[in-house]
Every structure is written in structure tokens, then in C-alpha cells.
Structure 1
Amino acid sequence: MDVLRTPDERFEGLADWPYAPRYTPVFDADGTALRIHHVDEGPKDQRPILLMHGEPSWAYLNRHVIADLTKRGRRAIAPDLVGFGRSDKPAARTDYTYERHVAWMSDWLVRNELTDIVLFCQDWGGLIGLRLVAAFPDRFAAVVVSNTGLPIGVGKSEAFEAWLNFSQNVPELPIGLLLNGGSARELTEAERAAYDAPFPDETYKEGARIFPALVPITPEHASVAENKAAWAVLERFDKPFVTAFSDADPITRGGETVFQARVPGAKTVAHTTLKGGHFVQEDSPGEIAALLDALAGSLPVSSSDALETV
């Protein structure tokens, strides 16, 4: 597997992004080493709030949520999926599969020894993040899902079909413009440039290109069986499970009802609707941070935390 790495200078001086990079090596099944980037801000003795981005963004999407959480005394961790941000980028489109993404992020999660996690996941951050919850349910204390799903061979829609066709056929994938179009507010030129930063040219975008085609929306897609198995775990997940979808996302509108109906932990919490487009972190970061702060504060102290305070 050939791997590209975005030059560090592409990330210098980005608007509202003062965070120091941290890197974790993971290994593909073929032996290839991949470097996954994340930021880890706030007190390390606090339970981790894990912020997982989707397509075609990177951890920058959560910059204002990170800042707000740390002001509240919380610990915020935001990784870049492989193929995005400062994480390594396999060069061939065929190197990216749904199951490889799950395996890479599972390796990252275990290597960073994260436990007692409060997860916030949006878009592909949910498709991958919920698979992590299913694989390691004991590591997660609570989950918040936003504008995402866990499809099992159904879910085709006109809006998604349009996005799929565009992503696979446009000569140049305009990352910054896509983030702007998927947000309710108008992003600044500097913000759009920050979303373009990880991709010096089209060769770095193979992961971003393939993601829409990997969503298992037909029975013939790969990962349908694996997602069905994950749902079987989620249907026993009785810890707090909050839906926080936005009010203006045509692709995932109504998707919260599936989680509310099927996940036990969703039946004992209050749900919310956020204002914004698909990239709701751009439109309602303060509301997201307040929700996560209150949720983290409502959870019992974990046994490991209790031992540390004795």
C-alpha cells in the first residue's frame, strides 16, 4: 500500500486551530504502517469526550466544540480518520474499505487506552464510531449521534444519490466549497481554506472520493452483515444514547427515529434538535458543547476515576 502524508506546512496558521498534533501508529492487515492524527485538549483526569468527524471534513470541523469544552473543564479528543486531515492517506482508492476504516480506528482506540468515553459522532464519524461502540461497548459511557446512521442495505434517497453521483464524477472534489454548502452559515475564506489544507492536489483525495460509494445502502454493498451484527449490540446498549440531529439536513432528516426506537439507552434520555445543516458543528458548536458537558457531568464516576481520587 502506497501512503501519502500531507506536508506539515499546510496546517500552519489555520484559523481557530491552535492545537498541537498527536500521532498514533496503527497497522493495516497487510502490514502497512499508518499514522493517525488527533488532538487531545483539556484536563487528562477528565473522562474523554471523543469527537468523530465525517466526510469530507477533518478534526477542524470540531474546533469550536473543542474550545468550548475545554473552557468548561472537559477533555476533548478529536481524531482525523485515515485519508483526512493530518492522518496518512493511502494513495489508491481501492485501499479504502468500510471494514478497513473500522479496523484502523479500533487499533487507534485501543492503542490510546481510551475508556469511559462520551462519543459525539456525525456523518461517517457515526458509521465508524458506532461500530467502535459495538466492538468495545464497555469502553463507552454515553453516545450522542448527529446527522448519521448505521445502514444495513437500505436507505437510498434522492439527495444521497445526487451526492454520490457528484462525488464520483466531478473532476475536482471541492472540499472547502462542500463544507460551505453543507453548513447553514457562510464559512469564511480562511475556514474554507482550512478544509482544503489536507489535500495539496487530487491525489490526496482518494479517501474522500470513495466514502460515499462505501455507504451500505443496498443489499449488495459490503459491510451489510457487519452493520447488522453491530445493531444487535446497540439493541442491548442501555447507557445514555442521545440523538442530536439538525433541522436542515436533507440527507439524514428523520434518521434519529431509528436510534430512538431501537437503542435501549435512547429511551431514558432527552433528545434534541440542533439548528444547522449537515455540518452542524459549524452551525451549533456551543449547543453541542453544552449538551456534551451536561451529559458528561450527569454520568457516574467510573471505577478507575474513583481509584485515582482515593
Structure 2
Amino acid sequence: MIKALRTPDTRFDSLSDYPFQPNYVEDLKGYEGLRGHYVDDGDPNSEEVFLLLHGEPSWSYLYRKMIPIFGNAGARVIAPDWLGFGKSDKPVDDEVYTFHFHRNYMLALIEHLDLKNITLVVQDWGGVLGLTLPIEMKDRFKRLLIMNTGLMMGPVNSPAFDAWKADIVSDPDVPIPFIMQKNEPVISDIEAAAYEAPYPDQSYKAGVRKFPLLIATSMDAPGVDVSQRAAKFWSTEWTGESFMAIGMRDKMLGPDVMNVMRTVIKGCPDPLEIPEGGHFVQESGGELIAQKALEHFGLAQV
């Protein structure tokens, strides 16, 4: 049994702009004893499913501006919290968190909820992990909305990532509000505090601390092989529609990386550029991105 902490519900009582009812899944195979949280909004019977995957050190709160727009278009919207984040349980041992611990959890959740006709919405680690999911269940995915992320196809050599990593690993009590506002200045103090809400103290932050350490430093690092397979899938097998948005002020996963990803994703159109957008582009451009993506996919309400 994996030892884990559960954030008290009272920590989420006064969140700004997060009215969504919690949904939980417990005892997924391989994750017995752990409770995972997800938002399930919109039309529960819709044939269109939007799966919104957050990254580091955020949680499903990051998608609060986009969830209602997708829901109002008639879709079912699922926004999970990775284990270690948000309202999901938080294993206390840093070593629990691996690339495949996270990836296999999301595969199991998709199967448990039997999600089909998925529009995959990804950013940051939501994409590093999420972009590898379709190769295991190709018939479940229909569209892609990609923002400020990439595939871990080999060792990462980036001064911007090194600075990001230093901000997280230099303090066991990771300064989450500082990191959020540094990388997306539009975030208010109240919103920044909401990103800290899942973590009463540093013992809850093992998952947050570990994500930067999972980035590959060698070709045989966990996740590289499956990421290379995923790149081949997106380049040669993907037949769905895609939409890309870029926070242009992001020095880590901004225009340079995203333009490479555009060449990887078969049929990816010109991106929607958010000039004022940083790394957490959902904050600065979430509503616009969601609406433009729906229009591109032919799903916008007239």
C-alpha cells in the first residue's frame, strides 16, 4: 500500500472561479488505496468528450476558464488531477512518482470512465504524458488541442528549463504561487493562492518536487522510448483534427518548441498566438483558445 496524504476539503472552500463538483475514483488497478479527483462537467451523455490534462505545478483549477466554454458547446468535459496534485491523493514518497506511474494512471482512468471520441487538451506535463496516451488506445481519440508542451524524445538541454527546475527543486517547500506568477504574470495573488491550496505543507508536495526530475537526461531514461513511439504516431498515423495555441512569452515551451511540435503533428494548422501569454497560457488566453478551437472543430454554438 502506498502511503499518501489527502488534502482537507476545507482548503478548497473559498477558491475563486472554481464552482465544479468533485468526482472521485478509488482503487484503480495498480493504484489501490489511492483516490483520484476529476472534474466531470457539461453534458454527461454527450458523444463529444474533452479531456483536459494539466501540468506542473498546477492542477485542474488551471482549466476553470475553458471548462464552461467546452461544456456550453454541448460536450462532456473531464479535467483530472494527477495523483500528487489538486484534490487527488498525494503519495508522500518522492520515489513513487515516475513517468509510467503517471501515464499508467491516466490510461486506467480513461478505461474506467470509458471515454471515447476524446478531444485531448494538453499543456506542460499534460502533453509530455498525454501525447503518449493515444498509441495505446487509438480508437478513443478524435482531436487534439495542444498548448505550450512537447514530447520527451531525448535528453533536454535548455537554459530555460534549468531555471525552471532550479525554482522547484531548490526548496522542498516548493514556492508554487511564485512559480505560477513568474511564468504567467497575469495571475492574481488570489489565484496564485488557489494553486497552493492543495498543499497544507511541504509533505504534500512530493509530486510537485519530482516532475522536473523526470525530464530525460539520457536516451535510456524512462519515457523516452514511448515518447519516440508517440512522435511517430503523430507524424504518420494521426488522422484527427488538431489545433495549436502558443503563449508567446514562454521561454521554456514557447514558440521554438511548439513550432517543432507543429512539424511533428500531421496536419497541424498554423497556431493561434497569444502575444501576452506565458507558460500557463490557459490563464491569459483560455477563453479565446477554447472558443477558437471549437470554431476550428466545427463545434461552436451558433
TM-score by length of 2: 0.92
Q: Secondary structure at the match of 2:40?
A: strand
Q: Secondary structure at the match of 1:226?
A: helix
1:4-83, aligned counterparts within 5 Å? Answer: 4-27=5-28, 29=30, 32-46=32-46, 47-83=48-84
Structure 1 match to 2:192: 192
* Aligned-partner Cα distance in 1 for 2:169–2:252: 17
Deviations 1:248-279 (A, max 9, x none): 1000121122222222232xx34322230000
* Aligned-partner Cα distance in 1 for 2:29–2:154: 26
CA 1:244–1:218 in structure 2 vs 1: closer, same or farther (change >3 Å)?
Answer: farther
Counterpart of 2:174, as a letter, is L
Q: Secondary structure at the match of 1:24?
A: strand
Structure 2 match to 1:282: 283
* Aligned-partner Cα distance in 2 for 1:128–1:221: 14
Deviations 1:89-119 (A, max 9, x none): 1110000000110001110111011100111
Unaligned segments of structure 2, at least 5 residues: none
* Aligned-partner Cα distance in 1 for 2:173–2:264: 39
What is the deviation of 1:220? 4.6
* Aligned-partner Cα distance in 2 for 1:264–1:26: 37
Identity of matched residues, %: 36
Q: 1:152, 1:217 within 8 Å by CA — same for their partners in 2?
A: no
* Aligned-partner Cα distance in 2 for 1:196–1:62: 15
Structure 1 match to 2:260: 258
* Aligned-partner Cα distance in 1 for 2:29–2:76: 29
Deviations 1:189-235 (A, max 9, x none): 32122111100100000000010110225325222112112222222
Q: 1:26, 1:104 within 8 Å by CA — same for their partners in 2?
A: no
- How many corresponding residue pairs? 295
Root mean square deviation of aligned Cα: 1.8
What is the deviation of 1:132? 1.2
Q: Secondary structure at the match of 2:259?
A: helix
What is the deviation of 1:171? 4.2
Unaligned segments of structure 1, at least 5 residues: 300-310
Range that drifts further, 270-279 or 85-94: 270-279
* Aligned-partner Cα distance in 2 for 1:259–1:193: 32
Structure 2 match to 1:219: 219
Deviations 1:16-55 (A, max 9, x none): 11110001124364x6332111111112233111111100
1:1-310, aligned counterparts within 5 Å? Answer: 1-27=2-28, 29=30, 32-46=32-46, 47-185=48-186, 187-235=187-235, 236-253=237-254, 254-266=256-268, 269-275=269-275, 276-297=277-298
